[in-house]
Amino acid sequence: MRPVSEQTRVAVLGAGGRMGAAVCDAVRGAADLELVAALHRTDAVSDAVAAGASVAVDFTVPGVTEANVHALVDAGVHAVVGATGWTGESLDRVREHLDGAPGVSVLVAPNFALGAVLAMSFAAQAARWFESAEVVELHHPDKVDAPSGTARHTAAAIAGARAAAGLGVMPDATASGLEGARGADVDGVRVHSVRLRGLVAHEEILLGNPGEQLTVRHDSFDRTSFMPGVLLAVRQAASRPGLTVGLEHLLGLG
Amino acid sequence: MRPVSEQTRVAVLGAGGRMGAAVCDAVRGAADLELVAALHRTDAVSDAVAAGASVAVDFTVPGVTEANVHALVDAGVHAVVGATGWTGESLDRVREHLDGAPGVSVLVAPNFALGAVLAMSFAAQAARWFESAEVVELHHPDKVDAPSGTARHTAAAIAGARAAAGLGVMPDATASGLEGARGADVDGVRVHSVRLRGLVAHEEILLGNPGEQLTVRHDSFDRTSFMPGVLLAVRQAASRPGLTVGLEHLLGLG
Amino acid sequence: MRPVSEQTRVAVLGAGGRMGAAVCDAVRGAADLELVAALHRTDAVSDAVAAGASVAVDFTVPGVTEANVHALVDAGVHAVVGATGWTGESLDRVREHLDGAPGVSVLVAPNFALGAVLAMSFAAQAARWFESAEVVELHHPDKVDAPSGTARHTAAAIAGARAAAGLGVMPDATASGLEGARGADVDGVRVHSVRLRGLVAHEEILLGNPGEQLTVRHDSFDRTSFMPGVLLAVRQAASRPGLTVGLEHLLGLG
Amino acid sequence: MRPVSEQTRVAVLGAGGRMGAAVCDAVRGAADLELVAALHRTDAVSDAVAAGASVAVDFTVPGVTEANVHALVDAGVHAVVGATGWTGESLDRVREHLDGAPGVSVLVAPNFALGAVLAMSFAAQAARWFESAEVVELHHPDKVDAPSGTARHTAAAIAGARAAAGLGVMPDATASGLEGARGADVDGVRVHSVRLRGLVAHEEILLGNPGEQLTVRHDSFDRTSFMPGVLLAVRQAASRPGLTVGLEHLLGLG
């Protein structure tokens, strides 16, 4: 066991939620991290500062998270943020705030599953080399939106890579059939949403050329899959000042 | 090598087409079969009879195949028919004709790939035991219809099995999103069509229950995949008088 | 809601184990079943009888389960048995006992996941139609045996179906390489065991012919996947006197 | 159509082989390339020079290819080399030769399928982030070695990435079972070889973490899959002087 002095002191905001509780467990289970505060929604962010946290993980809710981050930056505490609902404007406000707080870091990530982030990166790296590319996402049937946000981001990344490489429209001779068979159109990339009892969250990217197919698939079986990404962000917080959006920047990918 | 007397004498109608030519090759390569006539579209069916064929394989075209079959039945030659375009009425006419031709057999099959036929049978056998079921079919991008006929048949078979077992509507909480994301609706079963350069013809049936998934997938890489089914039909022709629709009846499935 | 009088009275033996506890939950959640006794290992089987159970589900341990079943048969209570460790001899003893207990039923099943049972049945139905067949099973890395019992049963079923159909050895030109690359040999069928953190229990059966592949895959994500099979066995217990080994006989498969 | 003056003049060595013939077709089909010489094994390399080729594609055989490359370098013709049998020493000799031939390029690639090269790169990028990693390769049953060279390279790349990241041995509690079930061991990475009639060349890389799986799969359906990679190498030949080993360097990957 490492001496206490080497441990990074971590606070968790939104510790009462399912993700927050999982983060608390993960921090407790990591020998190089110490959980110094597990705050619920109604607790003050200053409690994290008072507890001596050097990094705070925020898994609260859209209406609260932005104020939390600004309070943390003011106190010189690095923030790792998993809450959804961030817009370009709210990110701009954090970026500006960080300009006046040298050395402090904020990481905002829509997805902490390493595998999902890698899959999206691989899709973007591969897209320019293939004639065809489609996305199939598969989720439990209680999901209310289709396609998933991850699949839309992936399709948009594929479309961007194709455009940058000067690729045109994908081949598709479909002339007749049933409505919806060819899926949703996201920037010219077809996305198909399967809803199946028993599933959690899965995504498959299919790329095709004459005589070959490349497939990248990510399966999320439960929320423990997010913990390695959260801990990675906590550990890199001190060495990555400023605003970082997306876990992919921590993975040293191409 | 077996003595000639044991070989079944086979004629191929539509031998100039790609499927017909492949059938000729397959018959030539089978020790228990003898190719006695390879007829083109403009040849008379009577040439097959004159050549002493006991079974004729017809891979001609919709406008011609029905007349061919009636001529074969009149001559007492068993028919194995792969041409598309058969309706319920044309099948009824053949069934009636066969009533007056005891011992003669006609098999009409929309698909001769054993794997595809098995996949459809398995989907139908499994469907009543699962809460959710969807179909994903994947083809080359030059295909003009979506979904494929095979996928539509498979979805209809799933829907039929669910109805027979008293299952209701599948769970699906989708409330927002993009048009087409959830695929086409075939009798309440969702069907998704992927079009990808490099592919040939592929179908995946996904079935889900709490905590488990069952997947049946068939890949057709080229038309040689149809030959084992064609030869099976030729070999069983003499022992299966009357009209048979669908290769599944030759496979002894549940 | 059905009247109470129509409910089947169910006892669970081994209710303190993880499977037993899940069965208790599943019975409680079923409108047509009533949980009348949840017995731990040290409780007497007579408590289930005293509670008026008409069906008892036994998820105890190898050393106990056989005596439980004989006590249940003596009392005229149907038994659904999920415990492992049954041999041909212990099954014979139950069969004999049931000869003198008309109307009483015992079902012993090594696997209650409907999807796994269907996958194995489909493998056996399809095997005779393909030149090649192999099995890949994938599990969490804490599993101590390789291959899994399910994969061995599946491979043996494939080998049996091939032998019954007169098929010979599968094609395999492998002449050089690394030891173990071609997997384990189960009656001539190759079985490959993948061990991967994050997985639970998965099996894939691959069948190949010229130009086509048929794949059947089952994924078990957690033990809730066994509950539909257990409830099905409970519901059919009264109508299936005698000994039944294997859930497949309750599914009306070919 | 571009003016002739912009076309790159290409010679093909080994044009009588199946790969060489496919390259000839691919060059003929590319508007920006002109096929100026299609040489058979017995033709002199000087014929390519005499025909004014600026790039030569060599798909000859191990005993011939090295001498071809040196002759091409002497003549100032760029070489794209797909022949196997290159050793570290033969590559060193070419590298030395190129030191004295500024501006001339040689690309030697063991695999020209873009998808296969991408799959291997993705495996190497992802490996350091996962607890478990295994490789499954699937080929037609006429293949004589197991595992495939590509799978061995992929496994070695995974092992290298794990070692560089300081990862230890993968979790595996296997204590009993059948010989070979856990596959071949390549630097601590398990590799499984499936042989199935109907398949061509396929590779699947499986990576696992708690709660998640990442899968990268490449399917080669026929040798047309190598042509985009060959043409890419031809087009980049003039701008990439010196020796390049492996197509991945042309893809701008991480």
Token digits for A107?
Answer: 């990481």
CB contact under 8 A, D174 and C143: yes
Please give the span between the terminal C-alpha atoms of chain D, in angstroms, as a whole number: 35
CA C167 vs. chain centroid, Å, equals 28
Residues D158/D123, Cβ–Cβ less than 8 Å: yes
Question: Domain for residue D3, yes or no?
Answer: no
Question: Does residue B1 lie within any of the structural domains?
Answer: no
pLDDT at position C62: 83
How far apart CA D233 and CA D227 sit, in angstroms, is 10
Model pLDDT, residue A1: 46
Rg, C-alpha atoms of chain A: 20
A225 vs D207: CB contact, 8 Å cut-off?
A: no
**pLDDT recorded at residue B164:** 97
Asked if residue A110 belongs to a known ligand binding site, the reply is yes
Instruction: Give pLDDT, residue A133.
Output: 98
Question: How many angstroms separate the CA atoms of A204 and A218, rounded?
Answer: 6
B184 and B169, same structural domain? yes
Q: Which of B40, B97, B143, B249 is catalytic?
A: B143
Comparing B129-133, B170-174, C93-97, D249-253, the range with the smallest average pLDDT is D249-253
DSSP string across A241-254: -EEEESGGGGTT--
Q: Which two tokens stand for residue B137?
A: 């079919």
Q: Which residue has the tokens 């590559």?
A: D91
Residues of C taking part in catalysis: 139, 143
Q: Are B12 and B45 in contact (CB under 8 A)?
A: no
Q: Which two tokens stand for residue D252?
A: 């701008």
Q: Average the pLDDT over A139-147 and give the result.
A: 96
- The more confident residue out of D82 and B80 is B80
Within a domain: C1: no
**pLDDT 10s digits, A172-195:** 999 999 999 999 999 999 999 999
Mean pLDDT calculated for residue range D3-11: 80
The pLDDT, as a whole number, for residue C84 is 75
User: A240: which 2 tokens?
Assistant: 């990555």
Domain shared by B93 and B139, yes or no: no
Would the pLDDT of D85 be above 90? Answer: no
- pLDDT tens per residue across span B152-201: 999 999 999 999 999 999 999 999 999 999 999 999 999 999 999 999 99
- A150 annotated to bind ligand: yes
Q: How many domains does chain D have?
A: 2
Whether D217 shows a pLDDT value over 60: the answer reads: yes
Residues of the binding site of C for NADP(+): 41
Q: What is the pLDDT along chain C (254 residues), one digit of tens a residue?
A: 445 558 999 999 999 999 999 999 999 999 999 999 999 988 999 999 999 999 999 999 888 999 999 999 999 999 999 877 789 999 999 999 999 999 999 999 988 999 999 999 999 999 999 999 999 999 999 999 999 999 999 999 999 999 999 999 999 999 999 999 999 999 999 999 999 999 999 999 999 999 999 999 999 998 889 999 999 999 999 999 999 999 999 998 75
Q: Is residue B71 part of a domain?
A: yes
Q: What is the pLDDT of residue A242?
A: 97
What's the pLDDT at C124?
A: 95
pLDDT of residue D62: 83
* Residue A208 marked ligand-binding: no
pLDDT at C5: 57
- List pLDDT tens digits, range A70-103: 999 999 999 999 877 789 999 999 999 999 999 9
Selecting from D132, D176, D195 the residue whose C-beta is nearest the C-beta of C195 gives D132
Regarding an ipTM greater than 0.95, the answer is no
B85, B134: one domain: no
Per the CB < 8 A criterion, the answer to whether C233 and C107 are in contact is: yes
SS3 A225: helix
Indicate if B120 and B90 belong to the same structural domain.
no
Residue A3 maps to a domain: no
Band (pLDDT 50/70/90 cuts) for residue B1 is very low
Find, among C108, C193, C119, the residue nearest to C157 by Cα: C119
Distance between CA atoms of B130 and B167, rounded to whole angstroms?
9
Residue B2 lies in a domain: no
Residues D123 and D179 in one domain: yes
Residue range D99-115, pLDDT digits in tens: 999 999 999 998 899 99
Does A143 map to a domain?
yes
Q: Name every chain C residue with its beta carbon within 8 A of the beta carbon of A219.
A: 198
pLDDT at residue D118 above 80?
A: yes
| HEC profile of C176-241 | EECCCCCCEEECCEEEEEEECCCCCEEEEEEEEECCEEEEEEEEECCHHHHHHHHHHHHHHHHHCC
Residue B101: predicted pLDDT: 97
* D127 part of a folded domain: yes
Strand partners, A245: A108
A194, A238: one domain? no
* Per-residue pLDDT at B254: 53
Residue D164 is part of which domain span? Answer: 114-221
The single-letter DSSP state of residue A52 is: T
* Number of C-beta neighbours around residue A122 at 10 A: 29
Same structural domain, C96 and C186:
no
Interface contact flag, A212 D227, Cβ < 8 Å:
no
Give B173's contacts in chain A (Cβ within 8 Å). 141-144, 195
Q: How far, in Å, are A160, A163, A252, B211 from residue A117 at the CA level?
A: 17, 21, 12, 25
Q: Residue written as tokens 């509507």? A: B169
Interface residues from chain C to B (CB-CB < 8 Å) = 113-116, 118-119, 121-122, 125-126, 129-130, 207, 209-228, 251-254
Nearest chain B residue to C116, by CA: B214
Check the annotation: does B140 bind a ligand. yes
Neighbours of C103 (CB within 10 A): 10
Beta-sheet strands, E only, within chain C: 8-13, 33-39, 55-58, 78-81, 105-108, 132-139, 145-146, 176-177, 184-186, 189-195, 201-209, 212-220, 242-245
Name D132's bridge partners: D208
For residue B130, the distance in angstroms to the closest alpha carbon of chain A comes to: 9
Distances (CA, A) of D76 to A27, D56, D237: 61, 11, 12
Measured CA to CA, the distance from residue A120 to residue A199 in angstroms comes to 20
For residue D217, the domain's CATH number is 3.30.360.10
How far apart are the C-alpha atoms of C27 and C5, rounded to whole Å? 16
- Residue B2 confidence (pLDDT) above 60: no
DSSP string, D4-31: GGGSEEEEEESTTSHHHHHHHHHHHT-T
Strands (E), chain D: 8-13, 33-39, 55-58, 78-81, 105-108, 132-139, 145-146, 176-177, 184-186, 189-195, 201-209, 212-220, 242-245
Q: What is the CATH number of the domain that holds C93?
A: 3.40.50.720
Nearest to A224 among D121, D210, D218 (CB): D210
| DSSP 8-state assignment for residue D232 | H
Could you tell me if D166 and D189 lie in one domain?
A: yes
Mean pLDDT of A129-150: 96
Task: Please give the backbone phi and psi of residue A140, each rounded to the nearest 5 degrees, phi first.
Answer: -60, 155
**B→C interface, C-beta within 8 Å:** 113-116, 118-119, 121-122, 125-126, 129-130, 207, 209-228, 251-254
How high is the pLDDT of residue D254? 53
DSSP, res C171? P
Looking at the structure, tell me whether residues A43 and A64 fall in a common domain. yes
Return the partners of chain C (3 or more C-beta pairs < 8 Å). Answer: A, B, D
Q: Tell me: do B128 and B216 sit in the same domain.
A: yes
Is-contact B130 B207, C-beta < 8 A?
yes
Q: Are residues C216 and C228 in the same domain?
A: no
Range in A151-155, C217-221, D223-227 with the lowest mean pLDDT? D223-227
- Rounded CA gap, B154 and A118, in Å? 35
Looking at the structure, do residues B214 and B233 belong to the same domain, yes or no? Answer: no
Average per-residue pLDDT for chain A:
94
